[in-house]
Amino acid sequence: MFAAFLQYLFSGLTSGAIYALAGLGFAIIYNASHVINFAQGEFIMIGGMATATMVAAGTPVPVAIALAMAASMLVGVALEKFAIEPARNADVVTIIIITIGASIFLRGGAQLLWDKEFHALPAFSGETPIGILGATLMPQSLWVFGVAGLAIVVLWWFFNRTLFGKAMLATSHNRLAAQLVGIGVKKVLLASFALSALLGAVGGIVVTPITFTNYEAGIMLGLKGFSAAVLGGLGNGTGAIVGGLIVGIAEALASGYLSSAYKDAIAFLIILFVLFFMPSGLFGKRGTDRV
Amino acid sequence: MHNLVKWGTAAVVAVGLCGLAGHARAADPIRIGSTLSVTGPASFLGEPEKKTLEMYVERINKEGGVLGRKIELVVYDDGGAGDKASTFTKRLIESDKVDILIGGSTTAATMAAAPLAERAEVPFISLAGAVVVVEPVKKWIFKTPHTDRMAAEKVFSDMKKRGITKIGLISEDAGFGKSGHDQSLAVVKNYGIEIVADEVYSPKDPDVTAQLTKIKNAGGVQAVFNFGFGQGPAIVTKNFKQLGMAVPLYQSHGVASKDYIRLAGDAAEGVRLPAAGIVVPEQLAATDPQKLVVTAFKKDYEAAFKSDVSTFAGHAYDALQIVLAAIKRAGAVDKAKIRDEIEKTSGYVGTGGLVSMSASDHMGLSPSAFHMLEIRKGEWALID
Amino acid sequence: MNIYTARTGGLAILATIIAVAPLGFSNTYFYDVGVNAMFNAIVCVGLNLLIGYAGQISLGHAGFFALGAYGSGILTTVYGFPPIGALVLSAAVVGLLAFAVGRPILKLKGHYLAMATLGIGIIIHIVLKTEAKITGGPDGMSLDNFKMLGFAIKGDVMWYWVAGIALVGSVWLALNLIDSPVGRALRAVHGSEVGAEVVGVDTSRYKVLVFVVSAVFASVVGSLFAHKNGFITPDIGSFFHSVELVTMVVLGGMASTFGALIGAVILTLLPQVLAAVEQYEAMILGAIMMGTMIFMPKGLLPSLVAVLRRRGGGR
Amino acid sequence: MSLLKVERLSKEFGGIHAIEDLTFSVEAGDIHSIIGPNGAGKTTLFNLITGVYTPSSGRVLFQDRVVSGMKPYELAALGMSRTFQNLQIFFNMKAIENVMVGHHLHLDRRFLPSLLRLPTVTRRDRECRDYCAGLLEFVGLAKYLDADAGSMPYGALKRLEIARALAAQPKMLLLDEPAAGLNATESREIDEVIKRVASSGVTVVLVEHDMKMVMGISDHILALDYGRKLAEGTPAEVRANPEVVSAYLGAHG
């Protein structure tokens, strides 16, 4: 029975790491701008679709990956420049609708540019499952874990050790003050979208061998990524990773021990339950309202 | 403020009406209306269906049309949603004044549109799978796809031949898989087979090893049957191999396209599934009456769209052919006469099989319409 | 500009438009679209009380809509309830559910509240999809006509007038509420929760109240929608439908009852208009959403009003 | 009679004592000022008294009733109302509506009559409107009656908050830096308003940096430093207290 448990855990970790990568993108943009970007899933889709279609057309894999990352970043920058920045002072809900509009737009574009088929990428390190204590794990899952782990380390370094990263954090805490000490707030916002789109593309590329991709793949990933980011506490990278893993593992354990039909419902129940007791998520900033 | 509200609203209404009323009405062509799931989760049904209808309507018009009249095709995208299908069907009937309806890629869309076609007395050939479309028989409603029950029966009879008595069922929780799941449960006992594990997954789940592990550990499972379409079955297949499950894996006709093999890769080796002859025209026996039809259709489709033909494209082809034949027999574009002639369709050789409808059978596909295929070395192999 | 005349004037114009619009309808399809637009408008008028006036977001209202629809479907077909009884009982159950979940989740703010309401909507959707024995599952379920006192509402034309009356009634109720002590308390919650508290407004009670009211609006319309369409699928409770509803409110104008109404009408008509350019539909829809919100962040109606006021010399 | 008693009140934020073991009382009808350098805990004290924060220990009595732990809206019903240092205006409403919300507790708040716009509700609402217009005039904002709060200048908003608080018809009104950010003329006007409020029988508790104003209008002064009581007494007593002088010189010198 332990083997079964371990298998559920692996299943949950695989899904969870995917959600975590998606959630991390939400966290980065939120950190710099307090914007929730509901088009985050589309960055992931663009990364996956661009790579898969280019590889299928004969482009060498590394070139395809680099181009896909560049394409996604370009889309992220354009989104910030033309849709978010002009509306920077608008209501939270207004910006939510803008990003949802952007996600619909990007999906529509992807469907025209590419097609509606599912696309696959070959696994990076083959398809031989790794057996561990009676359970198995695909090598590609390790790639996802690795990328998620690497992303969190790099982001930590970036936000805590580089001047630009610190500037980004400062902007999120107090935009006016940041401006006063000479931080280019516009540049920071632009960079946050570029960074998050880049991360999304990387995520899309590493998960495509597991989940495949099509023009609508961003919907589910966006939704789960948002859940992960909120559960972990908005704006907290580690939180997003932990949140993603919890959602993934909860789903897998629910499938295994309770009911696979209700696994998503159970995951959402857990999120609700956590929020009832920790209204700012697991690692979110708690604080008393200043009046 | 008064004027503002008034003019604002008036402008909105005016813009809306202009948009809605923008259809010119030439009296000549025969109008065929379709609501299809061109986008959304069922787009891999609606997309090839739409392409097929457009391609053949264009071809027929080039050849002079039917009864000397051109055919005008109006397609709306319902995204697989019942309420949209209902509104678009009303639009087709009322505004576009179509003579015949083809469509409803999904069962939900069909069932939402069906009462409208009944009330307006417009012949309606559905492209949806579930048996509820034609059972009980509704006067104006027909369908061309095989039912999910037929697919389940084909699979279970193959299992029975191999002496399998205990299986695990894993299905997608959306329309196609859910309906297939229910039909499977309804007929499985007739084959002396017991379902010992019954799991579901969502169409976009990245990993289903948890569900499969549960099936694996259910005890005595001799085969696993997956009902679903899209990328789900490919993930099931890959996870199945990952877990090293040694029992046979069956898929439904929902994945009878090359895309499935392409996505699942090596993991698809040995998977069996029921499919119509269209998938393997070259392997059909020379005596098979379908051979000519499906070979020609596959060639046309793949030449036109540079993508593999799917069973679903065939459903649209069959629907169009049945309708055109009925119009020719009726000799006039009279909805009631066309309906009667559709019902009299007999011995039509289509991509799905031989079709002979009757007052009590508005599908008319013989059970032999399905073949059992196995995937060997990345290719389909006809085994039955 | 006097608030009282804007109110009665607005209602009169609305009633006139509803009464006159059918002159341009050439067949029942137009009535059908009209009914859908008005149904959406009623839901949005209710949802706007929550989002626009009280400043609380909900990404789960399609769930309440679907519960109303399925409540009516199940109670009338399985338990033989009269449709009006089923409608009222469903609305009561939805109200109770909204009350029960409202208390804990409305403590949450902003994106956390969005997440919680989204979760609730999705859970409702999953239950409707999964419990196929009573809901019919993803393939949907059928309903009979709406009968009351031996009289059946059937056909799009009759539904059009029913929906029209319901819409005018809902707008009247919403306008009443907004301009009452209760409504001012709601708007104060949006303005400053602590500011409202210190003058005696029990903010959590009012948040729950408006959540329940907007859920009941959605439920009642869900019931009517189910009878009118005669067939419902769980998709009406999906996340996408919730987002659609919020978009209608925000696009038309938050904290403006007529704005929400206009938003609902536009976004109901838009897909019908865009059906002609089907391939580009998604891109155009997305572009319109972005463009409107970028250039009119307060929504169509309030932004237009502001522009006209400036032109009119600050009136 | 003491209207408000604060007994051994403490509040900690993550180990830091914002208020520590504070005891004092406010007599009915007085203008009672609380002074102290920035960070002395004045606003925290207000938040504790009005129920925005819950005390870590100690208690607050209002009209000899223990009220610590009660919600702000419950305290409002008992007759306590306040303004804020950082404005808490309802910017989404008109000036008059802001004040009308202040009168909330005195209106027909039943849901159904409001929804159906019953005559009883509308009649009282009209009366409320007139009453609140009177309050706006009282604080000198008559010309802003139908203005959107968002379009009003800062000084006017400060007075709008006072009008809103008065609309609740409190027994005790707590004003948190009502003159902060105002020019000399505006300060004098606020000064006048406070005096008139007090003379109408409302007890006023005032936090203010403007020493001239505090010394001029207060009956009683409490000086705080680092959350502790530094001195207490009449303006003359407090002014003469060497500790107050040194705290102020230390802080501002």
For all residues of chain A together, what is the average pLDDT? 89
Q: How many contacts does A have with D, using Cβ atoms within 8 A?
A: 11
Closest Cβ–Cβ partner in A116, A138, A255 for B44: A116
Q: How far does A60 lie from chain C, in Å, by closest CA? A: 31
A212 vs A210: CA distance, rounded Å: 6
Residues D63 and D17 in one domain: yes
In a domain, D155, yes or no: yes
Q: What is the pLDDT of residue C268?
A: 93
In a domain, A4, yes or no: no
Contact between chains at A214 and B231 (C-beta distance less than 8 A): yes
> CB-based contact (8 Å) between D82 and chain A?
no
Q: What is the pLDDT of residue A205?
A: 94
For A174, the 3-state DSSP assignment is coil
Q: Do chains A and C touch (3 or more CB pairs under 8 A)?
A: yes
| Number of neighbours of residue C315 by Cβ within 10 angstroms | 9
Q: Which residues of B touch A253 (CB under 8 A)?
A: 210
Q: How many contacts does B have with C, using Cβ atoms within 8 A?
A: 148
Identify the CA nearest to B307 among candidates B67, B84, B107, B51. Answer: B51
For B92, the 3-state DSSP assignment is helix
| Number of neighbours of residue C217 by Cβ within 10 angstroms | 28
Beta bridge mates, B166: B194
Q: Residue B72, Cα to own-chain centre: how many angstroms?
A: 22
Q: How confident is the model at residue D120 (pLDDT cuts 50, 70, 90)?
A: confident
Mean of pLDDT values over C112-137: 92
Lookup: tokens for A58: 């004969």
A190 vs D87: CA distance, rounded Å: 32
A289: left (phi over 0), alpha (psi -120 to 50) or beta: beta
Q: How far does A84 lie from chain D, in Å, by closest CA? A: 24
D37 vs D17: CA distance, rounded Å: 15
In a domain, D190, yes or no: no
A30 vs A53: CA distance, rounded Å: 31
B38 vs B77: CA distance, rounded Å: 5
Contact between chains at C111 and A92 (C-beta distance less than 8 A): yes
Q: Which residues of B touch C235 (CB under 8 A)?
A: 80-83, 108
Q: Which residues of B touch A118 (CB under 8 A)?
A: 44, 230-231, 234, 259, 263
For residue A144, give its domain range: 10-117+137-277
Q: Can you list the domains of chain C with their CATH numbers? A: 3-311 (1.10.3470)
Q: Which residues of A touch C105 (CB under 8 A)?
A: 272, 275-276
For all residues of chain C together, what is the average pLDDT? 90
Q: What is the pLDDT of residue B21?
A: 44
Q: How confident is the model at residue A44 (pLDDT cuts 50, 70, 90)?
A: very high
Instruction: State the Cα angle at B212 between A211 and C131, rounded to 5°.
Output: 90
CB C70 within 8 A of CB C232: yes
Residues D59 and D175 in one domain: yes
CB A43 within 8 A of CB A207: no
Residues D57 and D117 in one domain: no
Residue range D123-169, pLDDT digits in tens: 999 999 999 999 999 998 999 999 999 999 998 999 999 999 999 99
Residues D153 and D177 in one domain: no
CATH number for the domain that contains residue D213: 3.40.50.300
In a domain, A78, yes or no: yes
Q: What is the pLDDT of residue D252?
A: 46
Residues D164 and D178 in one domain: no
| Number of neighbours of residue A179 by Cβ within 10 angstroms | 15
Q: What is the pLDDT of residue C76?
A: 94
The yes-or-no verdict on residue D215 having pLDDT over 80 is yes
Any long-range contacts for C28-31 (C-beta under 8 Å, 24+ apart)? C28/B90, C28/B94, C28/C155, C28/C156, C28/C157, C29/B87, C29/B90, C29/B91, C29/B93, C29/B94, C29/B95, C29/C156, C30/B17, C30/B20, C30/B94, C30/B95, C31/C156, C31/C157, C31/C159, C31/C160
Q: Give burial (CB, 10 Å; 0-12/13-18/19+) of D34.
A: buried
Q: Can you list the domains of chain B with their CATH numbers? A: 29-147+298-366 (3.40.50.2300), 148-282+370-382 (3.40.50.2300)
What SS3 string covers D115-155? HHCCHHHHHHHHHHHHHHHHHHHHCCCHHHCCCEHHHCCHH
CB B319 within 8 A of CB B362: no
Identify the CA nearest to C235 among candidates C32, C34, C70, C37. Answer: C70
Which residues, 6 or more positions from B311, have their beta carbon under 8 angstroms from its beta carbon?
A: B145, B253, B256, B257, B275, B276, B278, B279, B351, B352
Contact between chains at C255 and D92 (C-beta distance less than 8 A): yes
CATH number for the domain that contains residue A15: 1.10.3470
For residue D17, give its domain range: 1-79+171-183+205-253
Closest Cβ–Cβ partner in D80, D90, D168 for C188: D90
Chain A residue with minimal CA distance to D88?
Answer: A291
Q: How many domains does chain A have?
A: 1
Contact between chains at C176 and D115 (C-beta distance less than 8 A): yes
Cα–Cα distance list, B168 to B205, B214, B218, B228, D227 (Å): 19, 9, 8, 14, 70
pLDDT less than 50: residues of chain B: 1-27
What SS3 string covers D181-240? CCCHHHHHHHHHHHHHHHHCCCEEEEECCCHHHHHHHCCEEEEEECCEEEEEECHHHHHH
The residue of D48, D104, D166, D175 whose CB has the most chain C CBs within 10 angstroms, and thus the best one to mutate to test that interface, is D104
Lookup: tokens for D240: 């003469």
Q: Which residues of A touch C238 (CB under 8 A)?
A: none
pTM: 0.91
Per DSSP bridges, beta strands D203-207 and D31-35 are parallel
Residues D56 and D178 in one domain: yes
Q: Do chains D and B touch (3 or more CB pairs under 8 A)?
A: no
Longest dimension (CA), chain D: 64
φ and ψ at D199, to 5 degrees?
A: -70, -15
B266 vs B262: CA distance, rounded Å: 9
Residues D224 and D250 in one domain: yes
CB D181 within 8 A of CB D154: yes
Instruction: State the Cα angle at B128 between B127 and B131, rounded to 5°.
Output: 125
Q: What is the pLDDT of residue D50?
A: 92
The residue of A208, A263, A264 whose CB has the most chain B CBs within 10 angstroms, and thus the best one to mutate to test that interface, is A263
Residues D216 and D91 in one domain: no
For all residues of chain D together, what is the average pLDDT? 90
Q: How confident is the model at residue A270 (pLDDT cuts 50, 70, 90)?
A: very high
Q: Is the dihedral of CA A60, A61, A62, A68 positive or negative?
A: positive
Instruction: State the Cα angle at D217 between D215 and D219, rounded to 5°.
Output: 85
The yes-or-no verdict on residue A286 having pLDDT over 70 is no
Residue range B77-110, pLDDT digits in tens: 998 888 889 999 999 998 899 999 998 898 889 9
Q: How confident is the model at residue C133 (pLDDT cuts 50, 70, 90)?
A: confident
In a domain, D197, yes or no: no
